[in-house]
Chains A and B, each alone.
Chain A
Amino acid sequence: MKLEASGVAMRFGEVNVLEPVELSVREGEFVCIVGPSGCGKSTLLQILAGFIAPTAGRVTADGVAVTRPDRKRIFVFQERGVFPWLTVAENIGFGVEKAKRDAKVKELVPLVGLEGFEKTYPHELSGGMKQRVEVARALAVDPDVLFLDEPFGALDSITRLTMRAELLRIWQAAKKTVLFVTHDVDESVQLADRVIVMSARPGRIRAVVDVDIPRPRDISSPRYLELRDGILAEIGLAHEI
Chain B
Amino acid sequence: MRSRLEALAFALVLLGAWQLLHGKVVPGPVEVAKGIGELWERGLLVKYALDSLRRVAIGYAVACALGIPLGLWMGLSSTVFAAANPLVQILRPISPIAWIPIAIVIFGIGEAAPIFLIALAGVFPIASAVAAHVRTVPPMFVAAARNFGLSEPQIVRRVLFPAVLPQMLSSLRLALGVCWIVVVAAEMIAVDSGLGYLIIDARNAGKRYDLVIAGMVLVGAIGLVLDMLFRALEKIPSVRWGFR
Contacts and interface: CB of A to CB of B under 8 A. Distances in A.
Interface of A: 49, 51, 68-71, 74-75, 77, 80-81, 83-87, 94-95, 121-123, 141
A81 B148 CA distance: 13
Contacts of A141: 148
A51 B146 CA distance: 9
A75 B148 CA distance: 9
Given A69-B143, A83-B159, 11 more contacts: A51-B147, A75-B147, A80-B140, A81-B140, A83-B144, A83-B163, A84-B241, A85-B162, A85-B163, A85-B241, A95-B149
Interface string B131-142: 000000010110
A70 B241 contact: no
A57 to B, nearest CB: 22
B141 A71 contact: no
B148 A85 contact: no
Contact of A121 (B143, B146, B241): B241
Interface string B142-181: 0110111100000000110011010000000000000000
Interface of B: 138, 140-141, 143-144, 146-149, 158-159, 162-163, 165, 237-242, 244
B236 to A, nearest CB: 10
A48 to B, nearest CB: 13
Given A81-B140, A123-B244, A74 B148 contact: yes
Contacts of B163: 83, 85
Contacts, number: 53
A85 B238 contact: yes
A81 B140 CA distance: 6
A183 B19 CA distance: 72
Nearest to B242: A84
B141 A81 contact: yes
Contacts of A75: 143-144, 147
A86 B144 contact: no
Nearest to A71: B149
A147 to B, nearest CB: 9
Contacts of A122: 241
Contacts of A49: 147
A125 B241 CA distance: 12
In order of increasing CB-CB distance, the 10 nearest A-B pairs are A95-B148, A84-B241, A85-B162, A71-B149, A69-B147, A123-B241, A85-B238, A77-B140, A81-B140, A75-B147
Among B144, B158, B165, B241, the one with the most A-chain Cβ atoms within 10 Å of its Cβ is: B144
A121 B237 contact: yes
Contacts of B138: 80
B140 A69 contact: no
A129 to B, nearest CB: 15
B239 A94 contact: no
A167 to B, nearest CB: 19
17 contacts: A69-B143, A71-B148, A74-B147, A75-B144, A75-B147, A77-B140, A80-B138, A80-B140, A83-B159, A83-B162, A85-B162, A85-B163, A87-B237, A95-B148, A121-B237, A121-B240, A123-B240
A145 to B, nearest CB: 11
